[in-house]
Structure 1
Amino acid sequence: MPSVTPDDAPLLADLMPWSVAPPRLGRGWPAAPDAASLKARWDALLKAEGPDREALFEPTRSRTPQSAVGQLPGRHGGTEKLARATGPCAEPVRVLRAPYDEQWLIPDHRLIDAARPELWRVADERQVFVVEAAIAPADSGGPLLLASGVLPLVRPGRIRPLYRRPGGTEPNLAPGLSDHLTDRLGHRPDPLDVLAWALVAVRPGLSVPLTADPELWSRGVELGRRVLWLMRRDGERPKLPGGRRPYVRAPLPSRPVALHYDRTEETLQLDDGRISPVPPEAWDFEAGGVRVLEGWFAARMPGPAEPGTLEAIRPATWQQTWTSELLELITVLALLAELRPQQAELTVTNPITAAELRETGVLPVPDTARRPASVLDHHEEGPEGQFTLL
């Protein structure tokens, strides 16, 4: 990791000051690896009435079928109390359910204990959410930060949107930071460049050493842009080193129950199904102390659910889309692991220290920068169809 003493490096919390606690669902059934199950669960909920609907809902102190809540910003879910709801299921959206694991969520405020509307207000195709990863054993090599183009549900770390407003406007950077970096580097860095640098320079304790060396900055940003592209998993499908790609070598069973890795053959086995090549670095990749591929598989082939619950409504067989997602995930993990030595070699020289940022007035960050943008110029539907202007 970069070699600057901890006392000198500014904290991520100061460089990207606005942060939000991760959403808390309160119940598992509104999220799933496939969208069809979510719509079937919604239909089953609405077919039930009275006490049966309430039991299926799994009420908490924060949410019951009688809760009156507004619509999620930018979404079209109903706002009448769930106890008398009759409308269709809100169209499921992609979310980051776990590190490197995109799943689906019913974007209905009535189903979510703590949805964090301030995150939904700024979620769009330009947004990048930075997630503070769960603390893992020091030798696990897991990432300290995750980046996602979809809303993260990963707990327990805080979420730092790159932009404070929709449309990629008003970067969530300490006021004056961009100007100071411009003076020291000789060019104005894009907000994505600052994020890219943070992804590869961050250290335990979430401090982010900065540099005034233009060549080192460019090298770090280029590396960080590559990491960011792989984490967001958008655009062209990546390839393994040498242009290789993992393929299904033996058909996957309709409902695999066991996942095994053959290190000698570089083969991932799902019962009798086989996928290769799977580099050891992909299999060994961990996040939060959990092997990513094992966690991803367990989310799709979980143990038996309690009969009569909405979570028991799930695919009876392995989905073809999961195979495609798994092949891409293997490649992404292998490529991220390949970049780790370059990150480790990123030694920061000519540092921009926290003391320097204090001397120039960038730090301390004003309290207003730690709060969400206060005015957004669109209507949002409140409880029972009322409208509010934020």
Structure 2
Amino acid sequence: MPGGTAILWIGPAPATWPASNWPTSPWPHEPELTSRVPAEDRPSGAPKPSADKRPKVQEAIPGGTDDMPEEITYDPDTATLHVGAGQISPVRPEVWAYEVSGWRVVKRWFDYRKKNPAGRRSSPLDDINPKEWSAEFTTELLQLLNVLTLCVELEPEQADLLERICSGPLITVTDLELGKVLPVSPGSRKPPTAESPNAPTLM
């Protein structure tokens, strides 16, 4: 409505985001969020949480053909991830439950690497899959858990920053009208024209 706060509509889903009107970006004032470690001090390897919070293999994940993992489960009482007969801990409950676009990240990752993996079958090639659980799979899983652990640790600070942005100055509909961003011109609403069948292609 005129004079009201401008809300950015993100994608087709009803997710909105307030348009901040801070005179400068909030990010330069939050170096701990933009970069947890100065560039010159960053390790060359994959990011890891502190040693006491880092998930570790407690029981090796069987890698043979006969005992390749078929399921992954989580025990919140012991903070243990069970990968077949293997065990990894400590794993935070928030890491096990972490979702992106409605997908449980850890479960989704495992489903495509387990014995008889998930996924669509559109050709015989889809049935060509690893027959054993490799050491590389375990390394990838630990790296994934490390990154998700760091993401979870950042969430309280991110929530605080979002709260400060939302409670600070926001761009209004009037601001956008004065800047001639609104109303959107009819020409900008037109869908893109269909590509000519005679247009050059890459292949």
Aligned residues between the structures: 174
Structure 1, 210-219 or 287-296: larger mean CA deviation: 210-219
Letter in 2 for 1:246: P
- Aligned with residue 110 of structure 2, among 289, 297, 300: 297
Letter in 2 for 1:334: T
Closer, same or farther in 2 for the Cα pair 1:250/1:214, shift >3 Å? same
Match of 1:211 in 2: 21
* Counterpart check, 1:326 vs 2:131: no
State the Cα distance separating 1:330 from its structure 2 match.
0.8
* Counterpart check, 1:343 vs 2:158: yes
* Long gaps (5+) in structure 1: 1-6, 14-131, 136-203, 228-233, 372-379, 384-390
8 Å CA contact 1:249–1:274 kept in 2: the answer is yes
What value does the CA root-mean-square deviation take over the aligned residues?
A: 3.7
State the Cα distance separating 1:12 from its structure 2 match.
5.7
- Aligned with residue 257 of structure 1, among 63, 70, 80: 70
Distance 1:317 1:356 in 2: 60
State the Cα deviation string for residues 94-130 of structure 1 (Å, max 9, x = none).
xxxxxxxxxxxxxxxxxxxxxxxxxxxxxxxxxxxxx
State the Cα distance separating 1:10 from its structure 2 match.
4.0
Closer, same or farther in 2 for the Cα pair 1:327/1:350, shift >3 Å? same
Distance 1:262 1:245 in 2: 17
* Counterpart check, 1:269 vs 2:82: yes
8 Å CA contact 1:263–1:280 kept in 2: the answer is yes
Letter in 2 for 1:357: L
Q: Which has the larger radius of gyration?
A: 2
Distance 1:331 1:251 in 2: 18
State the Cα deviation string for residues 197-225 of structure 1 (Å, max 9, x = none).
xxxxxxx62334313154845346753x3
* Counterpart check, 1:359 vs 2:178: yes
Letter in 1 for 2:8: L
Matches within 5 A, 1:304-319: 309-319=124-134
TM-score, with structure 2 as normaliser: 0.67
* Long gaps (5+) in structure 2: 37-42, 193-199
Letter in 2 for 1:250: E
Match of 1:86 in 2: none
Distance 2:156 2:171 in 1: 23
Match of 1:120 in 2: none
Distance 2:44 2:173 in 1: 36
State the Cα deviation string for residues 225-269 of structure 1 (Å, max 9, x = none).
359xxxxxx964222246642222211112101111121222111
Letter in 1 for 2:94: E
Distance 2:26 2:73 in 1: 41
Structure having greater relative contact order (Cα 8 Å, sep ≥ 6): 2
Closer, same or farther in 2 for the Cα pair 1:288/1:310, shift >3 Å? same
Distance 2:152 2:172 in 1: 29
State the Cα deviation string for residues 40-68 of structure 1 (Å, max 9, x = none).
xxxxxxxxxxxxxxxxxxxxxxxxxxxxx
Letter in 2 for 1:323: T
Question: What SS does structure 1 have at the residue aligned with 2:82?
Answer: strand
Question: What SS does structure 2 have at the residue aligned with 1:261?
Answer: strand
Closer, same or farther in 2 for the Cα pair 1:211/1:340, shift >3 Å? farther
TM-score, with structure 1 as normaliser: 0.38
Matches within 5 A, 1:1-390: 8-11=5-8, 205-214=15-24, 216-219=26-29, 223=33, 225-226=34-35, 236-241=45-50, 244-254=53-63, 255-301=68-114, 302=117, 309-345=124-160, 346=162, 347-348=164-165, 349-363=168-182, 364=184, 367=188, 382-383=202-203
State the Cα distance separating 1:344 from its structure 2 match.
2.2
Match of 1:97 in 2: none
Distance 1:259 1:253 in 2: 13
Match of 2:40 in 1: none
Closer, same or farther in 2 for the Cα pair 1:214/1:259, shift >3 Å? same
Letter in 2 for 1:309: P
8 Å CA contact 1:246–1:331 kept in 2: the answer is yes
